[in-house]
A and B are shown apart, each in its own frame.
Chain A
Amino acid sequence: MSPISPTPPSASTLSPIAFPDVALPESTRRLRTEVRAFLDEERARGTVLGRPDSWLAGWDPGFSRRLAERGWVGMALPTEYGGAGRGFLERYVVIEELLAAGAPVSAHWVSDRQAGPSILQHGTEEQRRFFLPRIAAGRCFFSIGMSEKSSGSDLASVATRAERTADGWRLTGTKMWTGGAHCNDYAIVLARTDETEDKHAGLSQFIVDLRAPGVRVEPIRLMSGEHRFNALHLEGVDVPDGMLLGQQGDGWKQVTGELAFERSGPERYLSTFPLLVSLLRELGQHPTTAGQLTRIGILAARLYSIRRLSLGVAAALDAGASPDTQAALVKDLGTRLEGTLIDTVRSVLPTPADPHATPGSHPELLAFALLHSPGYTLRGGTNEILRGIITRGLEQHR
């Protein structure tokens, strides 16, 4: 845990609109400078290109490994498992610097954000000793296998089955939207281990080797034509006992316990930030009118304010609370901002989006951000569902 001032209240006393204000620990000041220097080096190397949505689309295992050498992958994992033993807020600073720069972080993204913390919390000692050092070295990449064709927002309705075998489990079913399954090493798969009345019970998580027999990865092309996601067909995949993650039947609890981490981070408001940087670069070559400045200022104020909210959730998480309502709130605000940013950029400097323009040019970045934009408010829980969580959270608080 890192020092935070003032002490954030516990989840039970935290009103959904009363976020703790956060002073980042002094240690983050130097860390931020170090990350910026590292990014300058990588820019010179030609790996950091300032592209939008780099946590989804910027796949560069070499970059991930160099980042890991600095101790910035799995950095909140304990040192005994190869992590850097840094606080959650320090990790936050590294992540936000990487995303603002549009650095290619997608290879290790899920390992760093979900798989590492999840294995640390729920895994066996053997699993920790095997996976965590590899994750922190940037040499073990994970996918998530949660959603299915008929199981999007309604995650508890998953139909993938895990049947008992002599020495483990046999998994059968198809996961959808499994990002990076065609290049990653493992997937954490949510499957039904018991048929019960309560559909939240009877689910378990498994660590599945993506190269195991019976695993078939079928591309699902995005509307831009990119191949990021897959259908992950599990056609009788044998998973040994040792790869059950956490307790049998606790899958739902384990999955929902991670949602606040997944929903409130800087990736929920910075996905299109590099496009705003690109706009300012363009405007640097033209005189800027008061009207243009005003629109940029209104956007910047909103970005600034959402970042403060997101930091408030990070501090609460660091203190061990589970601020699910607040995380949902940050995600709705932040991901809507990611779309608004594109609108503002277009209105400040009207530019036809052009996917065939020079890579990295303003029209090309605009096209890229735009083609990804419908996903911002869908991934990680659709915003309509999140708003229900927010309203319920406030009513229960009263």
Chain B
Amino acid sequence: MNTHTIDTSAPVISADHYDTTAFYTDPDAIATVANTTAPDAVALPSPDASTAEILAAAQEAGRRAVPAPFAETALVARPLLRRVGLPVPDGPLSYAIAPDLTVRYAHPATSSVGSAGCSGDDDTLLVTGTLRRVPWARAATAVIVLATAPSGPVLFTVTPGQATLTPGGNLAEEPRDDLHLAALEIPATQVRRIAPELLDEARLRAALARSALIAGAAERCVDLTVAHTTARTQFGRPLSHFQAVKQEEARLIEEAALVRTAVQAAAAPLDTDGPAAHVAVAAAKTQASASAAEIARIAHQLHGAIGITRLNPLHLATTRLWSWRDEDGDETYWALRLAQPLTATTLWPVLTSTP
């Protein structure tokens, strides 16, 4: 392939080792990756792992461009299922936060009207609509859906086989599939009514999962760029000896450090819920999304022409950065939410609210 030095701690399971386009269409391969326990691959953390440990693993998955819904499973789907007391299926999982989905109770004829509004004789649902751009839907054992029923927010699971799937992908060709649900019946046993706060928590978990992936891809950009500028020689000296290169490289390193730190800082607040979690995650996703442009720009600039080809793995990181910054809320979305409660008197207390 290429003659440039690349990361010698080469990942056993990473997108590097596959013709990416072919790989992403093979659900069995993705499931294998997601379930792998090979010691030097990224393994799903055990259920009782701390949020900080899961975040670190998700970051590693981002660094290796793992072709599986790793962060989606470990940081979003599994914790939410456990939270509402639904069984956690084996294999890769995904999620969809879909407040616009049309959700009815399946047995309205026998309904009684309670304080929560109209409800059926049980919680069996009839669901119609499209779940858009669901990460890795084609490969997921189950997709966790958060939607709004007549009684209020609900969480249920669908299996991709129950839906019509329109394949799609992001800039890195990671699957982002539409799932069309046509009056799909969801048995009451798979439905849980949830508090509105859980909907917020789902958004925070999704945003933090994505931020951890961004932090990993940013670190990969640093690894690859430093390796390249120290190995590549022009005008008789390594690129890294040029002052102009040092200046840019330092900024790349700084942005990556900034994202990584913001992600780490959100682990403890996420476990405690509350306003501190909102601040920490909003700050982390805002920073991760906002830094993506500069990280990708500098990494490509310092790689020169080889970086814009598939002869070099840089694109695995930069195309993900460009997609992930938009997914689960871009920097505009989260910055607005971070800033909304700020006033002259609350600004500093909010910024120092996380321990």
Contacts and interface: CB of A to CB of B under 8 A. Distances in A.
A255 interface: no
A310 to B, nearest CB: 10
Contacts of A243: none
Given A277-B348, A293-B335, A332-B250, A21 B264 contact: yes
B115 interface: no
A220 interface: no
Contacts of A301: 262, 282-284, 286-287, 290, 331, 334-335, 338
Given A293-B339, A394-B222, A395-B226, A303 B254 contact: no
A388 interface: yes
Interface residues of A, number: 49
A329 B347 contact: no
B247 A298 contact: no
A297 B351 CA distance: 11
Interface in A285-301: 290, 293-298, 300-301
B256 A17 contact: yes
B257 A329 contact: yes
Interface string B218-254: 0100100011001000000000100100110111011
A386 B259 CA distance: 20
Contacts of A390: 250, 253-254
A100 to B, nearest CB: 5
Interface string A352-396: 000000000000000000000000000000001011101100110
Nearest to A282: B344
Interface string A94-120: 001000110000000000000000000
Q: Which of B253, B262, B332 has the most CB of A within 10 A?
A: B253
A24 interface: yes
A333 interface: yes
A302 interface: yes
Nearest to A23: B355
Interface in B267-309: 267-268, 279, 282-284, 286-287, 290
Contacts of B246: 387-388, 391
Contacts of B243: 388
A332 B342 CA distance: 26
B262 A394 contact: no
Nearest to B280: A304
Given A16-B257, A17-B256, A301-B262, A387 B226 contact: no
B264 A307 contact: no
Contacts of A307: 351-352
Interface residues of B, number: 50
A309 B339 contact: no
Interface string A295-332: 11110111111111100100000000000001001001
Contacts of B132: none
Given A298-B290, A300-B338, A394-B222, A306 B251 contact: no
Which residue of B52, B259, B262, B282 has the most chain A CB atoms within 10 A of its CB atom? B262
A280 B253 contact: no
Contacts of B257: 16-19, 309, 326, 329
Contacts of B222: 17, 394
A94 B261 CA distance: 22
B193 interface: no
A75 B25 CA distance: 62
Given A21-B261, A394-B226, A297 B253 contact: no
A394 B219 CA distance: 12
B337 interface: yes
A333 B254 contact: yes
Most chain B beta-carbon neighbours within 10 Å: one of A277, A305, A395? A305
Contacts of A394: 222, 226, 249, 253
B320 interface: no
Contact of A329 (B253, B335, B355): B253
B12 interface: no
A218 to B, nearest CB: 34
Contacts of A333: 254, 258
Contact of B262 (A284, A298, A305, A395): A305
B328 to A, nearest CB: 15
Given A304-B262, A304-B279, A305-B287, 14 more contacts: A21-B267, A284-B343, A290-B336, A293-B339, A298-B335, A300-B335, A302-B258, A308-B264, A309-B258, A329-B250, A329-B254, A329-B257, A394-B253, A395-B226
26 contacts: A16-B253, A17-B253, A17-B260, A19-B261, A23-B355, A32-B352, A280-B347, A284-B343, A284-B344, A294-B339, A296-B342, A297-B336, A298-B335, A300-B342, A300-B351, A301-B335, A305-B259, A305-B265, A329-B257, A332-B250, A332-B254, A387-B247, A387-B250, A390-B254, A395-B226, A398-B227
Closest 9 CB pairs of A and B: A297-B335, A387-B250, A297-B339, A301-B286, A17-B257, A281-B344, A305-B262, A21-B264, A390-B250
Interface of B: 52, 219, 222, 226-227, 230, 240, 243, 246-247, 249-251, 253-254, 256-262, 264-265, 267-268, 279, 282-284, 286-287, 290, 331-332, 334-340, 342-344, 347-348, 351-352, 355
